[in-house]
Amino acid sequence: MGMQEEAERPTLSVVMCTFNGERFVAEQLESILTQTVTPDEIIISDDGSSDSTLAVVDKVRQASEVPVRWDIQTRENPLGPAKNFESALKRATGDVIALADQDDVWMPHKLETLTATLTNTAGTLLVHSDGRLIDEAGRRGATLMKTLALTRQEKQHLRSGRAIRALLKRNVVTGATMVISRKLLDTALPIPDGWVHDEWLAVIAALQDGVVFNEGLLISYRQHSGNVIGAQQLAPAIAQERLAESRTAFSARKALRNEALAALAMQQPRWLAAHHAEALRAKVDFDASRAKLPHWHLARVFPVVQSVLAGHYRNYARGWIDVIRDLSLRS
C-alpha cells in the first residue's frame, strides 16, 4: 500500500459485545487481529459475564503484536444486547465501525472487502454480507441468507439498493456481518426500546438509501446453545411457537416497536425522504390495524382479506405467513 493510500485509509473500529463467551471469544479475536486490513481499535463491552470471558480477552490482548488500541469495559448490571451494543458504539472513534459477535470467525479479507465498498460507494452508510453457519465444533452448514429463507423478491430488494422494502417486513440484515459509517450513528442512536440493534441500524440506513449488500460469505456464523441472538430458520417448531403467541403479547410487541417508527414518520427529519416517510406511515397504520383485529376468529376474515387485496401483507409483512398468523392467533 502506497503512502497516499495509507494516508487516505479510514480509521477502523471493531465493536464486540460479550457475555459468558469464554468458549469461542479467543478464536473470534484472532480472526479479527489477522485481517488483511487490521483495525485501529477494538472495543469490548462485557455485559456482566460470570465466566472467564474477560480473562480470555486479556490473554489474547497481551499476546497480540498487532498495533491496535484496546478499550475493554464491563458492568455489574447487564444492559442486554441492544443497549450493550449502543454503549459500545458510542465509544468507537473510527470512521468505519464493524460489529462483531463473540463467537464467530471472520474470513481474513472481511474488513478490507466491506470497508472498500463502504468508502468507495457514494451515500453508503452500511454494508452487510452473507455468511456460512457453523456449529459448536466448527462444522459448516447452510448460508445465512438461506437460513433466513429469503424470498426472491427480498433478494432483489437487497441487490438493487432498495433494502427498506425488505426491512419494513422483517429483519434480513445480520449485525455480525455489517460495517457502518460513523455518520450513521448521528441518526440511529439511541436505539429505541423493542428493537434489536442491528435491525434498527439497518432500517435507519435503509431509510437514507444507504444499505449495500455484499453476497460474499465473509464470516462463519456460529450457532450453539449459548447464543443470545442468532439466525433462525422458519422451522415447524418455530412457526408453531409464533402462532402460539397470544394477540395481547403480539400487539404489545408491535406497539412498542411502532412508537419509534411513528415518531420518525411524524417528525420527518431532513435525512428522511418523503416517499420513505409515507411508507413508514403506511407500515405503522397497517400494524396498528393488525393489533385491533377482532378477538373472534371468523370476524377477522373480512379485514384480513381487505388488507391482502390492498397489498399490505405483501408490502409490510411476511405475506401468507402473517395472514395465517393473524387468522390463527389466540386472544
Q: What percent of the chain has pLDDT over 90?
A: 76
By CB atoms closer than 10 A (0-12, 13-18, 19+), residue 80 is: middle
Return d(Cα 329, Cα 235) in angstroms, integer: 18
C-alpha grid cell, residue 56: 480470555
Q: Alpha helix (H) ranges present in the chain?
A: 3-8, 25-33, 53-63, 81-91, 110-120, 144-147, 152-159, 163-167, 184-188, 197-206, 236-243, 247-267, 274-291, 297-310, 312-316, 320-328
Q: Which of 104-108, 301-305, 315-319 has the lowest mean pLDDT?
A: 315-319
Q: What is the pLDDT of residue 234?
A: 38
State the pTM of this model.
0.90
Structural domains of the chain in order of their starting residue, each with its CATH number: 3-222 (3.90.550.10), 236-328 (no CATH)
Q: Is the pLDDT of residue 243 over 70?
A: no
pLDDT tens column, 5-47: 455 789 999 999 999 999 999 999 999 999 999 999 999 999 9
pLDDT tens column, 137-175: 889 999 999 999 988 899 999 999 899 999 999 999 999
Q: What is the pLDDT of residue 227?
A: 52
C-alpha grid cell, residue 236: 415447524
- Which one is predicted more confidently, 248 or 176? 176
pLDDT tens column, 59-90: 999 999 999 999 999 998 999 999 999 999 99
- Average pLDDT, stretch 251-265? 86
Q: What is the pLDDT of residue 240?
A: 53
Question: In degrees to the nearest 10, what's the CA dihedral of 262, 265, 268, 272?
Answer: 120
